[in-house]
Structure 1
Amino acid sequence: MSDQNARAATLRDVAQRAGVSLATASKALNDRGDVAYATRERVRAAATQLAFTPNVVARGLIAGRSGTVGLLTSDLEGRFMIPILMGAEDAFGAGRINVFLCDARGDAIREQHHLQALLSRRVDGIIVVGRQTDPRPSLGQELPVPVVYAYAPSDDPRDLSLTPDNGAGGRLAIEHLLSLGRTRIAHVTGDPAYAAAQDRVTGARDALSAAGLEFVGEPMFSEWSEHWGRDATRALLERHPDIDAVFAGSDQIARGVLDAVQDTGRRVPDDVAIIGYDNWETLATGSTPEITSIDAGLQDLGRQAALRVFDAIDGVDIGAGTHHLPVRLVIRGSTIARR
């Protein structure tokens, strides 16, 4: 009796039978990644021939490993963290991977403590989730497991980081307003120290420039709050009463903009169209009218980060550098009136 027949088949056996790499076999059997249909069927046929069951797939995936991944966040209670973690956990669940979740609460010393605790548990990989899109310090290149940075990119280009494309989001917001015939567009946004605020302004300016336009007045920066949105818009309307659209740097700010515009007797969107950012549905759909917004795709961001960790665990070269993931426009009544 051969050794293969004397023991349960492994993922490596399936890969060899199908004539593919270990990583490709893993992706084909778990419906992950871009695997050609013919290749997927060949791998599945090999698994059937070797009596390789789904439960054995799970054992094969973690053979010689702990079957655990660490999620290291700096702000577990933050609104942006939850969808990212949900996306990551969805991917982990599909691959039958256990997760250790650690919250450093923005403290570097606490983060190092959690990192050592994760390594002592022999996790197979780590996802580091930041609280904002500004670059953060790298955990270093000497770690024994793969690390992927999500939302907040690493400051070391040798690391792999996934973050939303805020520049594209700013362009998308302005292009939507321009498509509606709006030409006198103002911008009210948050803390100028945030990379997200600056990236969105840069993208918005690019879209305006391409149309031969500029913002009405200079972009107005301050805090990420409804209160600031209201105050800024009141001042804006006093100086520029003929504005026909406002791009708000967040949905909280957009909610304040909406209140201030309507307080002056102007109609939204007939007189002034308003677009926000983040697609925070509690705010966006709880407003009258509902607020058009840019969705950063945070759940998919978390899922993609988890899949990259899977690939690295499977021996795939996941590359390096900062990758900007797509964002999307969600149109509601604050830019296009319901008929």
Structure 2
Amino acid sequence: MSEENKESARPRKATVRDVAERAGVSISTVSKALSGKGAVRHETRQRVLQAAEALKYQSSQLATSLYTGRTDMVGVIAGDTFGRLAVPVLLGVIEALAEREVALLLCDGRGDPIREQFFAESLLRRRVDGILVVGSGASPREPIGADLLVPVVYALEWSTRGKDVSVVPDDAEGARSAARHLVATGRRRIAFISGPGRDVATKVRLAGTQEVLAGAGGRLVHEPLLGHWTEGWGRQAAIQLLRAGEEFDGIACGSDQIARGVLDVLRENEVRVPQDVGVVGFDNWDVMVEASRPQLSSVDMSLTEVGRTAAQLLLASIEEDVPPGIHRIDCHLVPRESTALA
């Protein structure tokens, strides 16, 4: 048999047009029914599925994109690709996109507006369906651009433009949960040690701590000790606190690194934790909290859920309008030995 005859003897693969003709619907309806995207009546969807099965039709991403105008691909611009906050957020993003079989193009923006703009334009040339911007910490930021023609969602940082969609941890509630935990374990004279006073995270966490103490008959001893997000600052601040001579039985720290430094100084000065003083951190960074002596109670920022929610909102925005504004994800306290009274 000649090659030409062999070719003609092979069964022709069914096309999306064949499925449409057999089901008695339009090609666009077939695409919506098979992709699960778009409004299609249940009866129509079943008819399309039955036709596709009868014809042994196998859809392709290219065919789908031709009829829907979508590529099932989104861009992610990360401000801190390998940062301890950004990594769990990105893991949540990847999980959510994988569930919908959406591809991801990751760009390292490094928090530089010029790099971000370059990558945004590059992603648009590649016809992504949407862009997700992952920041490096809880703070406001300028949007990457106006009228980009595709939906944009921000994670970990929030856009200053009110009509944008942003997803962040609920820092205020996280701080309140830490303060409530200290109060619940019998502490009433609480010190507060955190990073720079200009940082939004410091302001929000301090306000949340003060709010709980005011309602529980407790008080903040000493003025808030504000410096850097480091173990070194934690040690320095703890020394200042001990030298001040004020009695305290709890310390709320703005980060796990700060809390680790605080624990070192308390141990060196024979202050027992948790018997004399309870210490709470913030971030629930496993390499910090589990290696601390004693292991550190800390506020978990639900970063993976932040990423997952941001990705889900981006996918929803591609389909329809999503209410703008800041979506806050619950934080929760994880108690460990540093506050566990026997």
User: Could you tell me the TM-score, scaled by structure 1's length?
Assistant: 0.86
What SS does structure 1 have at the residue aligned with 2:271? coil
1:180 aligns with 2:185: yes
Map 1:255-334 onto structure 2 (within 5 A). Answer: 255-314=260-319, 316-334=320-338
Aligned equivalent of 2:99: 94
Which range moves more in the overlay, 60-69 or 121-130?
60-69
Cα 1:96/1:217, change in 2 over 3 Å: same
Aligned equivalent of 2:199: 194
CA deviation after TM superposition for structure 1 residue 140, in Å: 3.4
What SS does structure 2 have at the residue aligned with 1:66? coil
Aligned equivalent of 1:11: 32
What is the aligned counterpart of 1:81 among 73, 86, 94?
86
C-alpha separation between the residues in 2 aligned to 1:61 and 1:296? 38
Percent identity between the aligned chains? 38
Structure 1 residue ranges without an equivalent (≥5): 21-42
CA deviation after TM superposition for structure 1 residue 60, in Å: 8.9
1:158-199 Cα offsets, whole Å, 9 max, x none, are 101111111111111100000011011101001112111111
1:161 aligns with 2:166: yes
Cα 1:195/1:61, change in 2 over 3 Å: farther
C-alpha separation between the residues in 2 aligned to 1:54 and 1:277? 53
Cα 1:175/1:54, change in 2 over 3 Å: farther
Letter in 1 for 2:184: S
CA deviation after TM superposition for structure 1 residue 16, in Å: 2.4
Letter in 2 for 1:158: K
Cα 1:150/1:46, change in 2 over 3 Å: farther
What SS does structure 2 have at the residue aligned with 1:174? helix
CA contact (8 A) 2:230 2:258 kept: yes
CA deviation after TM superposition for structure 1 residue 252, in Å: 0.1
Moved over 2 A (4+): 1-17, 45-64
Letter in 2 for 1:151: L
Cα 1:290/1:187, change in 2 over 3 Å: same
RMSD: 2.5
CA contact (8 A) 1:9 1:50 kept: no
Larger gyration radius, structure 1 or structure 2: 2
Aligned equivalent of 1:32: none
CA deviation after TM superposition for structure 1 residue 64, in Å: 2.3
C-alpha separation between the residues in 2 aligned to 1:4 and 1:318? 36
User: Could you tell me the TM-score, scaled by structure 2's length?
Assistant: 0.85
Aligned equivalent of 2:128: 123
Which range moves more in the overlay, 251-260 or 206-215?
206-215
What SS does structure 1 have at the residue aligned with 2:131? strand
CA contact (8 A) 2:155 2:306 kept: yes
C-alpha separation between the residues in 2 aligned to 1:61 and 1:333? 54
Which range moves more in the overlay, 136-145 or 53-62?
53-62
CA deviation after TM superposition for structure 1 residue 304, in Å: 0.4
CA deviation after TM superposition for structure 1 residue 5, in Å: 2.8
C-alpha separation between the residues in 2 aligned to 1:268 and 1:176? 15
CA contact (8 A) 2:92 2:306 kept: yes
CA deviation after TM superposition for structure 1 residue 202, in Å: 0.8
Aligned equivalent of 1:132: 137
Aligned equivalent of 2:224: 219
What SS does structure 1 have at the residue aligned with 2:158? coil
Which range moves more in the overlay, 296-305 or 212-221?
212-221
1:240-295 Cα offsets, whole Å, 9 max, x none, are 45211100100000000111111111111011100000000001001121100001
